[in-house]
């Protein structure tokens, strides 16, 4: 479950509301595409702007639609431990396979605070936890030593590493045997080359089969195929971050018909004209437009 191509699923919106029918269509499509797992209601799923009831219903909808056909690692993190516990225990109750736990953002806890936050969730909810370290979003980075300490907890099974640091991943792998997943599409190949097992991918919302070709090849030791696929994907991966995620990926999905609407909630806005042109060129070069 914690390897290969895991998709950081977008949250479709229409008329200011979550489009649950569109969510179900995306689940079916990813099953057909062979995606290894779904990771809803994370950053790409606009977790900061869905309310608690929506957050829970999104998880329940995806787990129900997946119906065991594809694993669901539900985004249930937060910067309040009690809220993260509530969401995580709910995800367990409705049948999610695991949860994604972002480092608490804005309040910038100490390393001890990070440990106690994740330990409380693990001990209370009895659901496998994938830690999520993304200091560019949270303002705090979990040290490899804290990761290794958390890895001693039975429920902590993996970490999504979005620091952009090869040294960080190397240090984690030298301290413990926790599964590492890339949190940056453009770094999937190099991180897997030093021991990561896959990616929680944004671009796989658009081209899941190609991302899976890369991760499957690396897991099988077929580096030549992985390198070729990486070079093909790289410009598209970078274009997905021409402006703040998930603005570009939602735009791309609308352009290709995967979404009827690329609606976001404020403070997320539409792509600027210049960014839209960059994205359109990358997609045209890739053969998507």
Give me the domains of the chain, ranges plus CATH numbers: 4-208 (3.20.20.70)
* Confidence at residue 1, expressed as pLDDT on a 0 to 100 scale: 83
Q: Which one from 115, 132, 250, 264 is the annotated catalytic residue?
A: 132
* Confidence at residue 172, expressed as pLDDT on a 0 to 100 scale: 98
* Confidence at residue 142, expressed as pLDDT on a 0 to 100 scale: 97
Distance separating alpha carbons of residues 52 and 142, to the nearest angstrom: 26
**Residue carrying structure tokens 């899976």:** 212
Q: What is the DSSP letter of 187?
A: G
Q: Which one from 3, 20, 105, 160 is the annotated catalytic residue?
A: 160
Token output for 189? 């190949």
* Confidence at residue 159, expressed as pLDDT on a 0 to 100 scale: 98
Distance separating alpha carbons of residues 76 and 101, to the nearest angstrom: 6
132 as an active site residue: the answer is yes
Cβ-proximal residues to 277 (8 Å cutoff; 6+ apart), any chain: none
Say what angle helices 111-125 and 81-94 make with each other, to 10 degrees. 30
CB environment 83-105: b (16+ within 10 A), e (fewer): ebbbbbbbbbebebbbbbbbbbb
The parts of the chain modelled with pLDDT lower than 50 are none
Q: What is the DSSP letter of 72?
A: B
* Confidence at residue 80, expressed as pLDDT on a 0 to 100 scale: 97
């Amino acid at each position: 479950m914690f390897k290969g191509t895991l998709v950081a699923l977008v949250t479709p919106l229409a008329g200011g509301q979550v489009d649950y029918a569109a969510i179900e269509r995306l689940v079916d499509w990813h099953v057909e595409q062979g995606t290894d797992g779904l990771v809803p209601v994370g950053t790409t799923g606009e977790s900061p702007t869905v309310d608690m009831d929506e957050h829970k219903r999104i998880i329940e909808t995806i787990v129900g639609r997946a119906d065991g056909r594809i694993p669901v690692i539900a985004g249930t993190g937060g910067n309040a431990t009690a809220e993260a516990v509530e969401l995580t225990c709910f995800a367990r109750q409705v049948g999610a396979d695991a949860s994604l736990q972002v480092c608490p953002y804005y309040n910038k806890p100490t390393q001890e605070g990070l440990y106690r936050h994740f330990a409380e969730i693990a001990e209370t909810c009895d659901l496998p936890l994938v830690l999520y370290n993304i200091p560019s979003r949270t303002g705090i980075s979990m040290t490899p030593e804290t990761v290794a300490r958390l890895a001693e907890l039975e429920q902590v099974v993996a970490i999504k590493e979005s620091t952009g640091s090869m040294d960080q991943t190397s240090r984690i792998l030298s301290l413990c045997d926790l599964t590492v997943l890339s949190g940056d599409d453009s770094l999937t190949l190099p991180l897997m080359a030093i021991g990561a097992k896959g990616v929680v991918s944004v671009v796989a919302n658009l081209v899941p089969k190609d991302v899976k070709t890369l991760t499957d090849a690396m897991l099988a030791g077929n580096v030549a195929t992985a390198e070729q696929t990486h070079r093909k994907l790289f410009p598209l991966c970078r274009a997905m971050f021409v402006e703040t995620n998930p603005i570009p990926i939602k735009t791309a999905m609308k352009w290709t018909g995967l979404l009827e609407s690329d609606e976001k909630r404020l403070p997320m806005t539409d792509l600027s004209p210049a960014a839209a042109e960059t994205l359109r060129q990358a997609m045209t070069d890739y053969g998507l437009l």
